[in-house]
Structure 1
Amino acid sequence: MIKRLLIIALPAILILSGCEQKKTDPQQTPQGMDQKVVRKVIDSLVVNYGQDQKSVITKGVSQVATLWRSKDGSETEFTTFCVNNYQGNTEAKEVLFSRLARNFEILGGYYSKINKELLKPLQLDNGQEATPIDELFGAFNPSAHLTDDMFGNRIAFIAMLNFPFYSLTEKTELGPKWNRHEWAYARLGDMFSSRVPAEIQQNASDKLTAADTYISNYNIFMGNLVDKDGKTSFPKELKLITHWGLRDELKSQYANKEIGIKNQEMIYQVMKRIIDQTIPTQVISKNDYTWNPFDNIITKDGKVAEVIPENDQRYQVLLDNFKAMQAIDNFSPDYPTYIQRKFEQEMEIPQADVEKIFIEFVSSPVILDMAKLISSRLGRPLKPYDIWYNGFKSRGIMTEEMLTAMTKKKYPNTAAIEKDLPNLLKQLGFKKDKAEFIASRIRVESSRGAGHAWGTEMRGDVSLLRTRVGASGMDYKGYNIAVHEFGHNVEQTITTEFVDNYMMSDVPNTAFTEALAFIFQKRDLELLGIKAKDKDKMNMMALDNAWACYEIMGVSLVDMNVWKWLYAHPEATAPELKDAVISIAKEVWNKYYANVFGSKDEPILAIYSHMIDNPLYLSAYPIGHLIDFQVEQQLEGNNFAEEVTRMYSQGRLIPQLWMKGAVNSELSSTPTLKAAEKALKEVK
């Protein structure tokens, strides 16, 4: 949303490639206002408006002074600006707030629509290849100068002066006492905590979009994978995106009793080749060669060809993202590193707290007991890729082939999916009028990538559900992901249309939208009309959630530690970064996974694609799983639609206050671990 856009001085959409970073105008660099001048302005306003406004006045004037530059005016002009523009009258302040909220919604909404349209050639599967000009337009950030313009015409300063920024510590202390309107004022204050020059903002947009394009076009033709005997066991037409498609195919092979483990070993080998960058460039999104990933041999027309390895491009993309984010640091006084901006500002949970929760979870003795149960169920010792074990999900007698037959028949194209959205919502308990309203705010489009949801930025607009649909219809993997993305779309609609104030729209952080997406995804079979008859349903759900947390928390620990390493080694090269990522992945594995799986130095935790294209997003997934489980407990025995609407219409409170309002307890890993422990005792 534009609120997010201005907070971090980047568009909410993450995106594309190429310009050189320009030198920054010295007039844009941070500098301090004389504190005597600041104190004099504060004292003058307090005399005019009273001691009861001293706190807001002090914060507002001080924050304006922090971001005031020489090009904005002299100390005298600063004084005049503050005296003339502070709204000490309640009615005048409310008029100002309503005007700002209205206009920011308009700007956010239309900038978002422009970006969505410009990116369609890159993100949609329209039967045409993306061209260089498409990449340039996709990289173009029409809002790159918005922050500069807002400060240039002093709108930003007026907002800061009257609606100052509160730190996470202050929100945690004061937030429980604030009413909804005070929270809306505070959220407006979040919008202008930094002042990032347009060229740095555009450069970040370029690099993020390049990363997104790199990952979206990274596919493996599975029918071209062969073993040492030159045989393949995957369908010729099967093309899977990394890492999501590879992971989901690996999961599906648990049902293949004959050669499932052989196929899983091959997929794992492909993943390792991607991580260490020995993967041949000739097999990335190309089907000209057969490839034996174990021996890393490629052949064409029966002849062995020379392997041209990818040569660290994966890590150069990650390094480019780091450089782009690091360039913002000097212009963010309250959050001077990207790590702080991501956790304290965006997620509103300190990074150290997140890391502590994850380490406590992955170190729990419950995990080892779960591993023993999984090993018993598989009838063999665990393999590293069993971090994706999915045997706790109940499908009854349905195989993936049977499910794919159903989904292809039901959803031959995106139009069929969109038409069915109201029915899916009614199946989940939404009343007819609300189901139709929510569905009317969602458009389904065919995606080049694995699929994603793109929310609206203003009331009356639509969210986008991008998903993969093959020529013969949607397969079960695509359907499962689409239901996940549909959960995002429902959240996006509720938190835009059903929240009482635009400045409160959105969720506390992305983990909360992931939580609802997980909740929808778990009901994918139910939405196909397949009712689970498993008497251990709740226990299985608890075990599945806990094991999913265990997997993604390790990935997230790798992600966080890689960014710490980058800040400690800002001049690193791509090869050095590759070595560091692999070393960190093995270190995390050896600490928290080796004793569970019985093998050391496994690199698998470094495969996740979001580590490359979406900086430090990964922690949203495990936090989302924890939220998911606590919300599921609240949903049990209650009306699904009513409870989801009630919880998510709270909007963007800080995480712990949202959780208290939603489930009457704070976010914690304890419910998930306790439920898993209980389930282990009851499941045979």
Structure 2
Amino acid sequence: MYSLSMLMGALGANAQQLDATPIPTSSVQKMITTLEAKYGQDESFRIKRGVEQTAMLWRASDGSVANFEQFVTDGYEADAAKLDALFNKLSRAFEIMNGYNLRMTMDLKKPLDLDWGPVEPIDEIVGSFNPFAHLADDLYANKMAFMVSLNFPTYSLAEKTQMGPKWSRKQWAYARMGDMFTSRIPAELKQRATKISVDAEKYISDYNIYMGNLLTDKGQSLFPADMKLITHWGLRDELKSNYANKQTGLQKQQLVYAVMKRIIDQSIPKDVINSGKYQWNPVTNVVTDNGKPVTAASEPNTRYQVLLNNFNVTKEFDQYYPGKPTFLQSNFEYGMEIPQADVEKLFREYLASPEIRKVGKLIASRLGRKLQPFDIWYDGFKSRSSINEDELSAKTRAKYPTADAFKADMPRILGELGFTPEQQQFLQSRIKVEGSRGAGHAAGTGMKGDYSLLRTRVGKAGMDYKGYNIAVHEFGHNVEQTITMELVDSYMLNGVPNTSFTEALAFLFQKRDLELLGIPENNPRKRDLNILDNAWSAYEIMGVSIVDMEVWKWMYAHPTATAAELKDATIAIAKTVWNQYYADVFGSKDEPVLAIYSHMIEIPLYLSAYPIGQLIQFQVEEQVEGKNFASEVNRMFTQGRIVPQLWMKGAVGSEISTAALLNAASKAVDNVK
């Protein structure tokens, strides 16, 4: 899922050069004293914070000390009405710049993101262009950035947490404007980071496995000849789909897991990646051409080089932020707005909980066998686990032969969820559906009146069930993106506290996919099964997230590591986390499966958004139980981009917690037994 912040970074994250401010402390204090004398002590906090922020961001290229002092004298606005007018004018300007630059970004990337045929070198060059790269340079040069830093203080997460509950909506909007300019990072670095990000996206979007070419030890092919699955999403979903297959399901799952392990340790032959030229037995790793073995070189640690490239460019940003935090810190403190240590503690407590072990025993009894490592994706609590996926795909292909067919059906889907006819038409008008080259994603807009993008795979025969399932998930993102852009009361508050919140709504949509397809679930234990599905899914993704965080800790501790060394470390970390939190449940040690996620390679430290999103999803699900789903969604998400814990209190009356889900899961196990 793409967001505006992912594509552009903070506006303050661009500038010409890294050099110290030329403004001496004496000048800063002089201006503070001068403004306090002119406007009174009631303005003291804003004056002090604004002058200090502006001085920290000022460079010699912006003018002399005298120029700085003149700017502060002329630019500070104490009158409340004039300050509000300034805020409104700046908000309008930022909406125009963000909106059109984001639209340009997404349009330039279409040859890379959409299923338009082979990607040419010029497509990669055009797609890596970042319209935002020099924007902040220009905003500092014309002093717009300094008007923000001088008049709209930035607040730390601790200050927002403490003071935020008493702030008005206007004060929150002012604070979010103050977040825009907190550092100055070279435009060249931002552009280079964009290029590396685009390269990573392309690497992942083209990482497909031709499933019909996989062979068992007996030389059998278990999968359809035309099945092509992207890693990890497609492989994972294929594993999930085979719990309903009592004939060859387990054998298929074991074969897919063998593929995953080859990808993780990079012993996968490079000639079977995105190619159907050869047949391949992933268990023995033998490659054949019409039955004859051929020599095939392994992928040369490319997966880990891509991750390393992301790390190397990302850590260059650290030096430009006050206090020089690592990305591991700033991603959580400034991006998620929940400290990394708090997130990790939440996950580790959940992973070690006795309640989850009860769920694991229940799954083993339902399967009638010992758990295997791929059962971290056990899908048997869902209705679809008892339905053959080929039947589901036949239904979705007939219903959605094209991307436009899915768009045309949006009003009906929204109506099923309780949205009024007016809301149905409005939301549909703000969403565009396109066939994706990769697994699929949603991209929001940067301005009112524009449309969000829903992208999922649509084959020549139509949208298969996997594509439909992803489409419903991305549709949830689009609904959030539209509500929080169009219906939130201030542009500066548009969006959600962090990506976990949009993931939460996407999960709520996705879990209703069969219901929205016209396949009702009449199981009296539906609620218990939903709880167990949520609890087990959170167990899986929290472990993956811990691996992601630990790998970033390792990279910071070993900044000169090679791709080969990173591969060994990642596998070792994945096995350690497995042994800590999964080995006792599954009965096997040293499994590397937690390192398979493509997100870890493609999007730095994004994975934690999913388990936080699942916790939020559960708490929101409990809140909407028995109420109109659409009304509750509108009420919650029009809060906009305040800090996470305050948003949760407003939405469900309590902060993000694992306790509610774990307690419910324990009761659900007893009920289902």
TM-score between both structures, scaled by the size of structure 2: 0.98
Show the 5 A alignment for 1:577-592: 577-592=566-581
Partner of 1:201: 190
Q: Matched residues in 1 for 2:146 and 2:558: separation?
A: 36
Partner of 1:83: 73
Q: Matched residues in 1 for 2:193 and 2:421: separation?
A: 43
Residue deviations 1:473-522, cap 9 Å, x none? Answer: 11111111110000000000000011011000000000000000000001
Describe the SS at the equivalent of 1:298: strand
Equivalent of 2:344 in 331, 345, 355: 355
| Shift of residue 352, structure 1, vs aligned partner | 0.2
Equivalent of 1:177 in 161, 166, 182: 166
Show the 5 A alignment for 1:221-240: 221-240=210-229
Residue deviations 1:522-554, cap 9 Å, x none? Answer: 100111111110101111111110000000000
Q: Matched residues in 1 for 2:456 and 2:555: separation?
A: 33
| Shift of residue 368, structure 1, vs aligned partner | 1.0
Q: Matched residues in 2 for 1:611 and 1:2: separation?
A: 20
| Shift of residue 2, structure 1, vs aligned partner | 6.0
Matched, 1:653 2:642: yes
**Conserved 8 A contact 2:243-2:386:** no
The more displaced of 87-96 and 353-362 is 87-96
Q: Matched residues in 1 for 2:247 and 2:52: separation?
A: 69
Q: What amino acid maps onto 1:454 in structure 2?
A: A
Partner of 1:115: 105
Q: Matched residues in 2 for 1:134 and 1:30: separation?
A: 38
Q: Which runs of 5+ in 2 are unaligned?
A: none
**Conserved 8 A contact 2:483-2:634:** yes
Q: Matched residues in 1 for 2:385 and 2:518: separation?
A: 13
Describe the SS at the equivalent of 1:80: helix
The more displaced of 164-173 and 2-11 is 2-11
Residue deviations 1:384-443, cap 9 Å, x none? Answer: 110000111124863222211111110011111111111110111100011110111000
**Conserved 8 A contact 1:429-1:640:** yes
**Conserved 8 A contact 1:6-1:147:** no
Partner of 1:605: 594
**Conserved 8 A contact 2:288-2:294:** yes
| Shift of residue 3, structure 1, vs aligned partner | 6.6
Partner of 2:661: 672
Q: Matched residues in 1 for 2:668 and 2:378: separation?
A: 17
Q: What amino acid maps onto 2:366 in structure 1?
A: R
Q: CA RMSD in A?
A: 1.4
**Conserved 8 A contact 1:38-1:62:** yes
Q: What amino acid maps onto 2:10 in structure 1?
A: I
**Conserved 8 A contact 1:148-1:196:** no
Partner of 2:317: 328
Matched, 1:488 2:489: no
Partner of 1:377: 366
Partner of 1:54: 44
Partner of 2:614: 625
| Shift of residue 28, structure 1, vs aligned partner | 3.3
TM-score between both structures, scaled by the size of structure 1: 0.96
Q: What amino acid maps onto 2:422 in structure 1?
A: D
Q: Matched residues in 2 for 1:442 and 1:228: separation?
A: 47
The more displaced of 548-557 and 467-476 is 467-476
| Shift of residue 258, structure 1, vs aligned partner | 1.2
Matched, 1:448 2:410: no
The more displaced of 330-339 and 235-244 is 330-339
Partner of 1:29: 19
Describe the SS at the equivalent of 1:192: coil
| Shift of residue 30, structure 1, vs aligned partner | 3.5
Q: 1:400 to 1:2 in 2, by over 3 A?
A: closer
| Shift of residue 152, structure 1, vs aligned partner | 1.6
Residue deviations 1:230-261, cap 9 Å, x none? Answer: 11110000000000000000111111111111
**Conserved 8 A contact 2:243-2:385:** no
Partner of 1:19: none
| Shift of residue 151, structure 1, vs aligned partner | 1.2
Equivalent of 1:366 in 355, 358, 364: 355
Describe the SS at the equivalent of 1:514: helix
Q: Matched residues in 1 for 2:326 and 2:40: separation?
A: 37
Partner of 1:16: none
Partner of 1:247: 236
Equivalent of 1:7 in 2, 7, 10: 10
Residue deviations 1:306-361, cap 9 Å, x none? Answer: 12111110001001001111111111115632112210001000000000000000
Describe the SS at the equivalent of 1:418: helix
| Shift of residue 639, structure 1, vs aligned partner | 0.3
Matched, 1:74 2:64: yes
Q: 1:378 to 1:2 in 2, by over 3 A?
A: closer
Equivalent of 2:494 in 505, 509, 523: 505
Q: Matched residues in 1 for 2:142 and 2:559: separation?
A: 35
| Shift of residue 302, structure 1, vs aligned partner | 2.6
| Shift of residue 8, structure 1, vs aligned partner | 6.4
| Shift of residue 142, structure 1, vs aligned partner | 1.5
| Shift of residue 29, structure 1, vs aligned partner | 2.2
**Conserved 8 A contact 2:244-2:386:** no
Q: Matched residues in 2 for 1:615 and 1:293: separation?
A: 29
Partner of 1:429: 418
Q: 1:108 to 1:361 in 2, by over 3 A?
A: same
**Conserved 8 A contact 1:451-1:481:** yes
**Conserved 8 A contact 1:29-1:331:** no
Describe the SS at the equivalent of 1:28: coil
Show the 5 A alignment for 1:275-314: 275-314=264-303
**Conserved 8 A contact 1:270-1:293:** yes
Matched, 1:562 2:551: yes
Partner of 1:44: 34
| Shift of residue 672, structure 1, vs aligned partner | 0.6
**Conserved 8 A contact 1:28-1:69:** no
| Shift of residue 95, structure 1, vs aligned partner | 1.1
Residue deviations 1:353-388, cap 9 Å, x none? Answer: 000000000000011111110000000000011000
| Shift of residue 191, structure 1, vs aligned partner | 0.6
Q: Matched residues in 1 for 2:294 and 2:459: separation?
A: 31
Equivalent of 1:161 in 150, 163, 185: 150
| Shift of residue 83, structure 1, vs aligned partner | 1.1
Equivalent of 1:637 in 614, 617, 626: 626
Q: 1:335 to 1:435 in 2, by over 3 A?
A: farther
Matched, 1:191 2:194: no
**Conserved 8 A contact 2:483-2:637:** yes
**Conserved 8 A contact 2:4-2:444:** no
Q: Matched residues in 2 for 1:355 and 1:388: separation?
A: 21
Q: Matched residues in 1 for 2:291 and 2:575: separation?
A: 37
Describe the SS at the equivalent of 2:179: helix
Q: Quick one: percent identity of the two aligned structures?
A: 58
Describe the SS at the equivalent of 1:465: strand
Q: Matched residues in 1 for 2:629 and 2:165: separation?
A: 27
| Shift of residue 36, structure 1, vs aligned partner | 1.6
Partner of 2:448: 459
Q: What amino acid maps onto 1:657 in structure 2?
A: L
Equivalent of 1:65 in 38, 41, 55: 55
Q: Matched residues in 1 for 2:570 and 2:434: separation?
A: 35
Describe the SS at the equivalent of 1:299: strand
**Conserved 8 A contact 2:314-2:327:** yes
Q: Matched residues in 2 for 1:196 and 1:263: separation?
A: 49
Q: What amino acid maps onto 1:210 in structure 2?
A: D
Describe the SS at the equivalent of 1:165: coil
Matched, 1:316 2:305: yes
**Conserved 8 A contact 2:13-2:183:** no
